Amino acid sequence: MIYRDSWYYLLVTHGSCCAGANSSYNIRMGRSRKVTGPFVDNMGIDMLQGGGKLFLGSGGRYVGPGHFGLLELGDGVQKFSIHFEADLDRGGISVLDIRPLLWRDGWPVAGENFKEGVYQIESARTGTAVEMAVQGVPVGGARGRGARGDTGGAPIPAQDAAQVTANWPAGPIDVRMSPYMVQAQQKWSIAAAANAGGYPGSPYFKITIAGTDRALTATEDGEVIVLPSDGPNGVNPLNLEQALKFLNAKEKD
């Protein structure tokens, strides 16, 4: 059970277990203003009368999630533990999993563990993108609109950092929210930081401008800047939740 914003949330294991990949385990939930219930789902159906909003079911190579456990990690970060009845990539054995716990429209949501890669970090509210605060270079060069009937030319390749870094200043550079322009200063490579610790189920991450050693870091007063990884001040690895918290504050500013 979870208490949040004057609601009690009851998460229960539903279905059958103990049959490996044939298990129908899933996790469903309801909420109530009173700890004694009644607990109803998002459609207003009492869980004792067959209600229950799905929190997490089988997916991909994992079958039969059950037994929700809340992990409070501080600074507003929540995760949850579960077990799957079968992991098909490991011969169908039962496995533990730890994932982010998110909230949406007044209900807990099962998040996915982050996968390393190159990303554009975009605001869901404004559509603006996180970028290193440098003068951007238009992708493909400055181009006017084509004449009427023009069918266009060859595809424009993605902008690579090596094409534009000569114009970037050295040393610390601010971070800002700007319209997404498909430019190199808006492409972030996110990878686990070796031997830096982390949260249960998730390491701390090193977040760099893709193709460079310029890494996102937090200052002592909570600002987010970009520094060369091999600079005199070094770089503090960030956990992803912390980085997004700083960036959200910057967007509001």
Quick: pLDDT tens for 242-252: 555 655 665 55
Quick: pLDDT tens for 126-151: 999 999 999 999 987 776 666 666 67
Whether 123 maps to a domain, the answer reads yes
If one counts the domains in the chain, the total is 2
Residue range 230-251: mean pLDDT, rounded: 54
Same domain, 46 and 10: yes
Residue 129, domain CATH = 2.80.10
Quick: pLDDT tens for 54-74: 999 999 999 999 999 999 988
Q: Which structural domain range is residue 239 located in?
A: 117-136+159-252
HSE-CB of 167 using CA atoms within 13 angstroms: 11
Quick: pLDDT tens for 155-200: 888 899 999 999 899 888 999 999 999 999 999 999 988 888 888 8
Same domain, 85 and 105: yes
